[in-house]
A and B are shown apart, each in its own frame.
Chain A
Amino acid sequence: MSHAREPKPILRAGLAAAAGLAVLAASACSAPAPPRTVAAASAAPSAGATGPATLPAPTGPHPVGTTALHLKDTSRPDPWVPEAKARELMVTLWYPARARTGQRAPYMTPKESELTLKGRRVTGAPYDLLSKTRTNAFSGAEPAGRKGALPLVVLSPGFTMPRSTLTALAEELAGGGYVVAGIDHTYENHATTFPDGRVAECVACDSDTDPGFGTRVAGVRAADVSFVLDRLTGPDAAWEGSALIDASRIAMAGQSIGGASALAAMVTDSRVRAGINMDGTAYARLPKSGLSRPFLFLGSPGHTPGGRDNSWDRDWKLLTGWKRWLVLPGGDHQSFTDVPLLADALGIEQPGSLPAARSVEITRTYVRAFLDLHLRGERQPLLDGPSPRYPEVEHCAPAAKTCE
């Protein structure tokens, strides 16, 4: 998506063909492209650097283990590179572990760090910096839990963003007893590295100005999610800990177009019992009869009821089950990712007006509460209305176009 472009003079006929659409397309904001994080705060390459970032420790009772899976879906060609006869995906699992054994997992590879920073035009930090981010998960640590006891949460990142940008959330959920599967949707981010060293770059970025692009991405991701669920819960499960997963308790959350993809996956795959869209314009066509499974919209000010993006208002009416629409007036599109935690290290402007630690805490707390309610059946008064503990979070009444 025209990554990080400043508005430029446009030479365009006002009344050219297909005029009615322009307007539509114009407001189809949401998907992809990273402007604000990009503006390096300082011209001097090392000036903003405070050393690599450290992710806050998860609050749950369990140590966190992690492993990466390389999965190959031979039932379909890659949607972005049709010459590739299979869709290959890298998936990171985070899970409750018996003990903190082994090495702390790398946040991403140096190459992924380099391509991600170059892709987002961040120049204020060494290119490998993201790979040095300190995580809280231990590679290959033995999973803990009884057979069929752990609920599963799929995480899907924003367009051009790798799965690791949701690590702080993933570690929190794993520490709380969830198996978390973060998916890199190949060719939809700046860099995905496969075990044999191949690096997939952002082929989808080539077509991100096409009308219907968001709808297309959400559809691709829904198919990715169904495939990953097959491989995590099916008879030939790809992970040795798969038996711990309770396949009847699966939810999905995502940021930006990853959040849109949560709705798309719920439409096409009934195994996804509940979903969360964190600040993503929604693209999937919900059935006219409605979608009755629980759903949470968690947004920045760009997603207030009656705002310029109509997609949440549109879908709200078709969500017929438990639902909430929460907005962080001081939040930013990236408040639901690790970007605020990484901003100082990268020498980029802090997104939104909330302190980084606070936006992470809020995201972790509300996502966890939603999952505990709908996958574990635990009452969550936090979700019933505004909370004095989190005055930054407003509950919206879309019919009245108000939030409080």
Chain B
Amino acid sequence: MTIRTIRTMAAGLVLLPLLAAGCTGQTAPRTQPGAATGGPAMCAAPRPGTDIPPETPTTIDVVEQAYRCVLANYYSGPRLDNRALLTAGFAAFTQQLNRGGRDLPEATPPALSGDREADWAAFETVYRRVTDRLPDDAALQEELAAATLRAMVAALGDDHAHWTKGVRRPPDYYDGDQYGLGLRASVGAQVAGNPGIALPPLFVTAVLGGAAKAAGVRPGDIIESINGSAPFIDGTVTPAAVGALYPRYPEADPVRLDLLREKTGRRWSVTLKPGLYQPDPATTPVVTTGLPREGIGYVRLAGFAPDSADRVLRAISRLRAGRTLTGLVLDLRGNGGGNPEEVNRLLGAFAHGKVTAYQCTVDGACEAMRTDDSVALLNLPLAVLTDRGCASACEHFSAAVKDLRLGRLVGTRTAGAVSGPAQPYLLGDNTILGFPSRHHLAPGREVIDRIGVAPDHHVPLTPKDAAAGRDPALDRALALLSE
């Protein structure tokens, strides 16, 4: 199979290209030499150009493979205390047992010494002793192994560490469809992992289609409760409640919202059923352009997808055809990231010979990423719009703009989800484990992961702005560029 789409635009997974590449396949993965102990095969990057076969059940051998994979390849792998992984895994294992009402006296962790091999052997022995006493139920066994593996990955506390299993498309999905309630709110889906600076009130910022559109929900509507839970309690966000706004397939339970429309004072409830919907095609391209004011170009980049830097540059040259631009607004709100090379290429249009970021090992050995100096300089004053949805590669870009003084950032602080570029590893059950081997630092060598990049001009959106269709951040950017 050779023709495949690498759809990196829609935000979400570390491994989009791989999944995409894995769309047609049955070629067996390249077998890897077994680990020295004779255990399961080492994890390895999926072979480019081959297809990932269908998933098989996750077993304790796959958990072992993931454990070894993390210790051998993860950013802090050389220093990582293996006991932290095993303890987190064991905790999840016992919780999963309890969830099924099957707790057992043997489900007590072994003593762990910090010896990676010996500790694994002890862990596996107890694990097998427990699972051998359970009914011979494949689904039950798989759920236990999956819960254990998932918890070990979560224990890394790394926003770019993921394990993808059971990722399925809705059977009626068509290319371009989106799944969910059909709305975006002032607190995004990332709230579950990184609540950051979520502030009340919670309100609708965009209606994309689907159930929200059908129910007449509008931007600016304040969401007072979600399935009966308040989105904020004493000013602190309730991640589980807000997270219900962003269901992922196969989650399909209806979500009840209590809404307030400030302008009319109306209070009412809607029940939205998650589903597939077709967004307005005008809103979905990776690159969209406009001229919000004569002489000022506007380019929205929804993700650092392959070729996206060149697309932005071509869009700018089209805007410049037959007119003189005196400034550029680059709208990166909601840009979920993508390929760092695209970031370096786009930055090459604004500066040459600069370091854009560092990627560092746990021992502090850093490799500099640099501007792509083969790109012609645009020589345009720049304003970049950011928000909490600007994540990962988007923060790489934003931090470089700020640190290198290439332009002004306008909007709100970025997501703070930029631990480092994730590498994919294929596991024995044909799932993909992804995590970074290096961590990301901004050009000033400061950490932006978990913290985000602060805008030069803090311009938050209010419910009134959203209801009126105003964009105060864009207005501020235009004012700055007109000074």
Q: Which residues of A contact B (CB under 8 A)?
A: 1-2, 5-39, 158-160, 205-216, 256-257, 279, 281, 283, 285, 300-304, 306-311, 313-314, 329, 332-334, 339, 351
B420 at the A interface (CB under 8 A) = yes
Of A7, A11, A160, A301, the residue contacting B51 (CB under 8 A) is A301
List B contacts of A209 (CB < 8 A): 5-9, 286, 305-308
A198 to B440, CA, bound (A): 47
A20 to B46, CA, bound (A): 23
List B contacts of A24 (CB < 8 A): 10, 169-170, 173, 177-179, 249
Residues B10 and A13 in contact, CB atoms below 8 Å apart: no
A132 to B253, CA, bound (A): 60
List B contacts of A33 (CB < 8 A): 2-6
Interface centre among B16, B168, B305 (most CB of A within 10 A): B16
B386 at the A interface (CB under 8 A) = no
Residues B14 and A303 in contact, CB atoms below 8 Å apart: no
List B contacts of A23 (CB < 8 A): 12-13, 19, 167-169, 248-249
Among residues of B, the one whose C-beta sits closest to the C-beta of A159 is B3
Of B20, B162, B417, the residue contacting A27 (CB under 8 A) is B20
Of A28, A257, A283, A300, the residue contacting B7 (CB under 8 A) is A28
A14 to B419, CA, bound (A): 11
B238 at the A interface (CB under 8 A) = no
Residues A25 and B4 in contact, CB atoms below 8 Å apart: no
Q: How close is A46's CB to chain B, nearest CB, in angstroms?
A: 23
The 21 sampled A-B contact pairs (Cβ below 8 Å) are A1-B4, A7-B17, A9-B340, A9-B436, A13-B337, A15-B189, A19-B189, A22-B12, A24-B173, A25-B9, A26-B12, A27-B23, A28-B20, A209-B308, A212-B175, A215-B176, A301-B24, A307-B54, A309-B23, A333-B3, A339-B2
Of A14, A15, A17, A285, the residue contacting B174 (CB under 8 A) is A285
Residues B45 and A7 in contact, CB atoms below 8 Å apart: yes
Interface centre among B52, B336, B339 (most CB of A within 10 A): B336
Residues A30 and B337 in contact, CB atoms below 8 Å apart: no
List B contacts of A35 (CB < 8 A): 2, 4, 21, 48-49
Q: How close is B5's CB to chain A, nearest CB, in angstroms?
A: 4
A12 to B13, CA, bound (A): 7
List A contacts of B7 (CB < 8 A): 25-26, 28, 209, 211
Q: How close is B307's CB to chain A, nearest CB, in angstroms?
A: 6
Given A18-B10, A26-B19, A308-B22, A333-B2 contact (CB < 8 Å)? yes
Given A209-B305, A307-B24, A16-B188 contact (CB < 8 Å)? yes
A330 to B382, CA, bound (A): 53
Of A12, A31, A37, A309, the residue contacting B336 (CB under 8 A) is A12
Q: How large, as a class, is the contact surface on chain B?
A: 35 or more
List A contacts of B160 (CB < 8 A): 11-14
**List of 8 A-B pairs having minimum Cβ-Cβ separation, nearest first:** A302-B24, A22-B12, A212-B176, A29-B23, A13-B391, A16-B336, A9-B421, A2-B306
B422 at the A interface (CB under 8 A) = yes
A32 to B14, CA, bound (A): 21
Within 357-390 of B, Cβ neighbours of A (below 8 Å) are at: 389
B423 at the A interface (CB under 8 A) = yes
B18 at the A interface (CB under 8 A) = yes
List B contacts of A214 (CB < 8 A): 5, 175-176
A9 to B7, CA, bound (A): 14
Residues B337 and A12 in contact, CB atoms below 8 Å apart: yes
List B contacts of A329 (CB < 8 A): 26
Given A15-B189, A35-B48, A304-B26, A21-B2 contact (CB < 8 Å)? no
A302 to B247, CA, bound (A): 28
Of B24, B284, B339, B393, the residue contacting A210 (CB under 8 A) is B284
Of A16, A32, A37, A310, the residue contacting B12 (CB under 8 A) is A16
List A contacts of B314 (CB < 8 A): 206
Residues B5 and A206 in contact, CB atoms below 8 Å apart: no
Q: How close is B473's CB to chain A, nearest CB, in angstroms?
A: 16
B96 at the A interface (CB under 8 A) = no
A33 to B341, CA, bound (A): 19
A242 to B247, CA, bound (A): 55
Interface centre among A13, A31, A213, A257 (most CB of B within 10 A): A13
Residues B23 and A281 in contact, CB atoms below 8 Å apart: yes
Of B5, B48, B338, B436, the residue contacting A31 (CB under 8 A) is B5
Stretch at the interface among B103-111, B190-198, B263-271: B190-198
Given A32-B3, A209-B8, A13-B16 contact (CB < 8 Å)? no
Of B10, B13, B51, B311, the residue contacting A302 (CB under 8 A) is B51
Interface centre among B24, B54, B168, B343 (most CB of A within 10 A): B24
Among residues of B, the one whose C-beta sits closest to the C-beta of A160 is B3
B334 at the A interface (CB under 8 A) = yes
